[in-house]
């Protein structure tokens, strides 16, 4: 379950860096909960091609996160804002800086 959460969060951040085929197979596997066999049948490709693509996408997502750290950054930001008042205070400070 942790793996699913990890990769779906990374996918949300980095999906535009993937090809359409990679995005579709990833979504079939992680969001639609289709098996490798089902994806291969639906897309008329080999099970090996699907398996290789899913593995490649997971590796790519991990590499993007390692290089860019967007997921870690967003989680750190969420930790800073414990309630709406904290967000409003931060926005007011930002407005003073740029205004």
Percent of the chain having pLDDT more than 70?
Answer: 86
Q: Structural domain boundaries of the chain?
A: 2-98
Q: What is the DSSP string of 65-83?
A: HHHH-HHHHHHHHHHH--S
Architecture of domain 2-98 in this structure: Orthogonal Bundle (1.10)
Alpha-helical runs (H) found in the chain: 2-14, 20-30, 36-43, 47-68, 70-80, 84-98
Whether pLDDT at 96 is above 80: no
- What predicted TM-score, i.e. pTM, was given to this entire model? 0.77
**Looking at the predicted structure, is the pLDDT value of residue 50 above 70?**
yes
More confident residue, 88 or 12: 12
For residues 5 and 13, is the Cβ–Cβ distance under 8 A?
Answer: no
């Amino acid at each position: 379950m942790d793996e699913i959460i990890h990769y779906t969060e990374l996918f949300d951040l980095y999906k535009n860096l993937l090809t359409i085929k990679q995005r579709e197979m990833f979504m079939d596997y992680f969001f639609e909960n289709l098996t490798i066999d089902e994806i291969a049948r639906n897309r008329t490709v080999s099970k090996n091609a699907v398996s290789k693509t899913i593995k490649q996408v997971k590796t790519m997502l991990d590499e993007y996160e390692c290089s860019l750290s967007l997921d870690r950054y967003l989680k750190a930001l969420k930790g800073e804002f414990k309630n709406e008042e904290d967000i409003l205070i931060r926005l007011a400070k930002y407005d003073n800086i740029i205004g």
